Amino acid sequence: MSVTDELLANAERYAADFDKGHLPLPPARHVAVLACMDARLNVYGLLGLTEGDAHVIRNAGGVVTADERRSLAISQRLLGTREIILIHHTGCGMLTFTDDAFKTAIADETGLKPDWAAEAFTDLDEDVRQSIARIQADPFIPVKDSVRGFVYEVETGRLREVKA
């Protein structure tokens, strides 16, 4: 039995208890969260979210690339979110390699060099500030009054704000 099959069995239990069939499409709390994909970062649990509350966007690092700007533009323009919360975290895998080494290793193995930036970083707080700056510089995300960035501490469970 694959892990996917085990998780599908969990999904059947979720459906059996389901009572949230009439939630509206726009997020009730008008907030979009952009966080790292890290397995230890439970966005719903950490922020006390429940079904219907918030858009949750996630990727390796919680960084801001074109696809996150696309998602945030759709989130605000079509679905009415007004606040953005960015979450990086301690112990992130993105702190453990460099773009050059990672892409060279892939090129050595596959014969092709990735045509994307891996977005590795060396300083957590600085990368949170970089992510905020990329959002502030984007011409297609209309609402930027509340774009705040945080570091989640995987050791303590605490969320620490990164000041500009």
Binder of a second copy out of 14, 108, 163, 164 (CB under 8 A) = 14
Binder of a second copy out of 1, 7, 122, 164 (CB under 8 A) = 7
- Please give the residues from 77 up to 136 whose contact with a second copy meets the rule CB under 8 A: 77-79, 83, 85, 91, 93-94, 96-97, 102, 105-106, 110, 112, 114-119
Q: What angle do CA 8, 16, 20 make, to 5 degrees?
A: 105
Q: How far is the CB of 149 from a second copy (least distance, A)?
A: 11
Which residue type occupies 111? G
- Binding flag, residue 10, a second copy (CB under 8 A): yes
- Binding flag, residue 31, a second copy (CB under 8 A): yes
Which two structure tokens, joined as six digits, stand for 65? Answer: 């690339």
Question: What is the C-alpha radius of gyration for the chain, rounded to an integer number of angstroms?
Answer: 18
**Strand 159-162 vs strand 146-152: parallel, antiparallel, or unpaired?**
antiparallel
- Binding flag, residue 164, a second copy (CB under 8 A): no
Nearer to a second copy, 25 or 164 (CB): 25
Cα–Cα distance, 38 to 53 (Å, whole number)? 21
Cα–Cα distance, 131 to 125 (Å, whole number)? 10
